[in-house]
Structure 1
Amino acid sequence: MIINPEQIKTFVNTIYPYLGVNKQQEVSRLLFEIAKRERIDYTEVVGCLPKPPSRFSLLKDYLLKRRYPSLAVKGNKIRPSFSDISINPALQVDVTLKPQIKPRNLFIEESVLHTEMVKRVVAQFPTSDIEIIKTYKEHTEKKQFRIEDYNRRSENFYLVRENYDFYKRCPCSSKSASCGYFIVNLGSGCVYECSYCVLQDYINSPGIILPVNIEDFFLAFQNLKHDIRCGSCELTDSLVFDHITGYSPQIVEFFRRYPKSTFEFKTKSDNIGLLTSVPGANNIVVSWSMNPQHIVETVEYFTATLPQRLAAAQKCVDCEYRVAFHFDPIIYYPGWEADYETLIHDIFNAIDGGDIAWISLGTLRMTPRLKKIIENRFPDNTILDEEFFVGHDGKLRYPRDIRAFIYKNMTSWIRRRCKDVPVYLCMEEKSMRLDQGT
């Protein structure tokens, strides 16, 4: 159902004029989230509220207990986020029309104009308009980019030279356990529309950015002079543009010479044609982010289906690659246990445990800013309807006991099928332990 935030704010201002602006904002936010969570009109909530001019503490207490029922029952201290509700219908994503990877515009830095990759990309998109720019930074530094620009990001491709950001340590959340991972940014931006995607929180680019100088990434690795575990999955999907860049065979052949290091392709696609055109290597891992199929259909728009991901994983194993799976983010909802347990069995029915390099677990989390972006881009979402509170790192997270319950169950289901596969937590507080589920 459609919930009009402006009607709610007008109502609150009219009925509770004695409340200050911040308190009115808290009441409006809670009314909005209760109505959305319970699939009712906000007026049905209003009828249960203490009558004005009730004290704000009584009003807020009722609303908090209704919005966060499980936390209220357990007597936990509730620390939600009370940001203003401001939803612009014009920012909603059209999830009925799958975007084509066919940019209207190619912006090419002049220093890479004559490279082989640029020539290949230009040939792939003969109808795209071409504009030569001095540098991406100079072209964009005085511009402000908004959600509208992000929604049109697939229209603009930037072919650039990366000069600095070759290998960097994974930016683990504050106070989270370190994963020791190194990020290789071989692209920025993605054409998939996962409603929880953190890239929405980085609206600082008008398009897809592809560095064309992969040879400099290889040289930078040699200059590290030590072995690392790394992957190209922080700011883009590792394989969604592989048919354009042609990078995966080059990466495999390069890292084949460094067997003590590991390179990971992390994806939600089944775009493995180039990858499987070369023999695999034991230190190359192809991994998939996994969720039950109904989450794929309603949250991870335009990505490969669950059967397609599993079929791609089987092909990679046949080509002698190791594979991995990331349950991250795990999304909590009524009936999640049955769906995720079935998903784990589906994976081990398709892939032998000995071929799985690792499995990671992490639950849905977001910044307050990302929450507001999700509300605007995906107003019909249900992933925000669960109970979130401000966690150890300032991000909105499920309560600790729910996260512990999820990890304990997920680990148990995995261990029933394979006792040896490494399992680790991603972006979790250091005190959370898999073996105890606490």
Structure 2
Amino acid sequence: MSHTEQIKAFVKKYYYYLGINKQQEITRLLFEIAKRERIDYTKVAEGLPKPPVRFSEIKNYLVMRRYPSFTKTGQGFKPSFFDVTIDPKLKADVTLKQQFKPKNLFIEESVSHTEMANRVSAHFPEGNIEIIKTYKQHLGKRRFGIDDYNKRLENFYLVREDYDFFKKCPCSANSAFCGYFVVNLGSGCPYECSYCVLQDYINSPGIIIPANIEDFFAAYRRLGRDIRCGSCELTDSLAFDHITGYSPRIVDFFRHYPKTMYELKTKSDNVELLTSVPGARNIIISWSLNPQKIVETVEYFTAPLMQRLEAAQRCATSGYRVAFHFDPMIYYQGWEADYEALVDTTFHAVDGCDVAWISLGTLRMTQRLKKIIENRFPDNTILDEEFFTGHDGKLRYPDELRVLLYKNMTSWIRKRCKDVPIYLCMEEKSMRLKL
């Protein structure tokens, strides 16, 4: 019997007189408290009022123990007590970084004779090549789950993209609009960041790359206006660059549109192709940054912090501007010293005049993503903090904590660079007024 099943059996035995929803709430709280405090759930249960007892008394005790800061301040909140089910078979393997060598190469018929098809076939000579009519037809109406996501690197799809070339950033409801346009130049990522939103909404059994980048350029020309855009919503912008060879083509195209800013956002150090061509100041190469402690324990298989910053140095030297996203910032004991050191290290590596912008954001997730994280990364600690349902329905740190994180980061950044633009990502509009 699994740990979670033991808790459910305990609750069912001793609180048989309560309805299933109330039993579920007790189970969820026992599970989270035991995980947070690093003790067995039976130790938590020892403090419970002895049954039979009213549900409100049980819940009050557990909530006060799980959310101590909320209960101390008396702040109203709505914690989420959805069912807890952990399937050991869904655990992500983060013991050894996999080389990206897909077993299967699925190439749409319409792009099978393109230079990109030849490039991909040559890059993976041992892959089993199958020509398919279309990606959509090949998959049919099948839905894919966590187990498929865990195996995503086994399958590579080369397709013709016909829509969503440029679309407005899907900012959360009631969030301040960032004015960003998302470019759909691929789907899927080789990294295993335990907080990654892609786990939540990618319904695909593999990595998907469009072969028709010339159609993206044509779509931009049809827009007929200057924009701020980037290819980082559904994939890492540079993780597959050595396979696609797209970055030099993007640079050469957009250098002719100097008022449009194109961002390549990454957690890699894969900048060889970028630095092989003259840079352009409207091409922004950006990195998501966190302290090395977080890189090692949360952002599995990504480039170490110093390698990301060394790559940023190389890009700045090559004529690009760079940007940094301290997002998601993760709260833990000792975060202040680590994040202040992160800011100092960042500006020691890169001159502030080469930094186009900096964004700040804190850890947030949907309830569904929380359940995915619990299954794929059962040993995680990022879920142990106190979260509440925010303005957009996502689980977030409380307002006071987010303000503290943002104010400190802004102060540390301003000490090193007074003029760099700083903005909040996926935050409610009112948060700006609190800083």
Q: For the Cα contact (< 8 Å) 1:156–1:207, is it kept in 2? A: yes
Q: Does the CA contact (< 8 Å) of 1:310 and 1:347 recur in 2?
A: yes
Which residue in the other structure is 1:229 paired with?
A: 228
Q: Distance in 2 between matches of 1:258 and 1:337?
A: 41
Which residue of the partner structure matches residue 144 of structure 2? 145
Q: Are 2:259 and 1:260 aligned?
A: yes
Q: CA deviation digits over 1:30-66, x for unaligned, max 9?
A: 0000000000011111111111111111110110010
The match for 1:426 is: 425
After superposition, what is the alpha-carbon deviation per residue over 1:175-194, rounded to whole angstroms, capped at 9, x for unaligned? 10000000001000001000
Q: Which residue of 1 aligns with 2:53?
A: 54
Superposition pairs of residues 78-117 of structure 1, within 5 angstroms = 78-117=77-116
Is the contact made by 1:145 and 1:205 (CA closer than 8 Å) also made in structure 2?
yes
Deviations along 1:176-234, one digit per CA (max 9) or x if unpaired, are: 00000000010000010000000000141000000000000000000000000000000
In structure 2, the residue matched to 1:363 is 362
The Cα RMSD (Å) is 1.0
CA deviations on 1:386-407 (whole Å, 9 max, x unpaired) are 0001100000000011101110
Query: Following the alignment from structure 1 to structure 2, what is the Cα–Cα distance between the partners of residues 141 and 203?
Result: 16
- Tell me the distance in 1 between the aligned counterparts of 2:199 and 2:77: 27
Give the SS at the match of 1:182.
strand
Match of 2:414 in 1: 415
- Residue aligned with 1:327, SS: strand
The CA deviation at 1:313 is 0.4
Give the equivalent residue in structure 1 for 2:315.
316
Once residues 321 and 142 of structure 1 are traced to their aligned partners in structure 2, the CA distance between those partners, rounded to angstroms, is 43
User: In the TM superposition, what are the counterparts of 1:109-128 in structure 2 within 5 Å?
Assistant: 109-128=108-127
Secondary structure in 1 matching 2:325: strand
How does 1:377-396 map onto structure 2 within 5 Å?
Answer: 377-396=376-395
How far residue 144 of structure 1 moved from its aligned partner, in angstroms, is: 2.0
Q: Quote the residue 1:277 is aligned against.
A: 276
Give the whole-Å Cα distance in 2 for the aligned partners of 1:322 and 1:366: 30
**How many angstroms apart in 2 are the aligned matches of 1:7 and 1:64?**
21
Gap runs ≥5 in structure 2: none
User: Residue 392 of structure 1: SS of its match in structure 2?
Assistant: coil
Q: TM-score normalized by structure 1?
A: 0.98
* TM-score after normalising by structure 2: 0.99
The AA in structure 2 aligned to 1:115 is: T
Deviation at 1:3, TM superposition (A): 7.7
Separation in 1, partners of 2:352, 2:107: 44
Deviations 1:131-169 (A, max 9, x none): 111111111132121111100000000000001110000
CA distance in 2, matches of 1:342, 1:253: 36
Tell me, in whole angstroms, the C-alpha distance in 2 between the residues paired with 1:71 and 1:141: 47
Structure 1: which 4+ aligned runs deviate by more than 3 Å? none
Instruction: Note if 1:34 corresponds to 2:61.
Output: no
Q: Which moved more, 1:78-87 or 1:178-187?
A: 78-87
Distance in 2 (CA, whole Å) between partners of 1:260 and 1:393 is 33
Paired amino acid for 1:87:
I
Report if the CA contact (8 A) 1:3-1:36 is conserved. Answer: no
Runs of 5+ unmatched residues, structure 1? none
Q: Percent identity?
A: 73
Whether the 8 Å contact between 1:184 and 1:232 is mirrored in structure 2 is: yes
Letter in 1 for 2:249: Q
Report the residue type matching 1:212 in the other structure: A
Match of 1:18 in 2: 17
1:181 and 2:180 are equivalent in the alignment? yes
Quote the residue 2:396 is aligned against.
397
- In 2, the alpha carbon distance for the partners of 1:381 and 1:151 equals 17
Matched positions, count: 435
Matched AA of 1:275? L
Tell me the secondary structure at the aligned position of residue 384 of structure 1.
helix
Deviations 1:57-108 (A, max 9, x none): 1110110010000111000113111111100001101111101111100001
Q: Match of 1:298? A: 297
Amino acid at match of 2:50: K
Letter in 2 for 1:381: N
SS at match of 1:433: helix
Alpha-carbon distance in structure 2 between the residues aligned to 1:399 and 1:54: 31
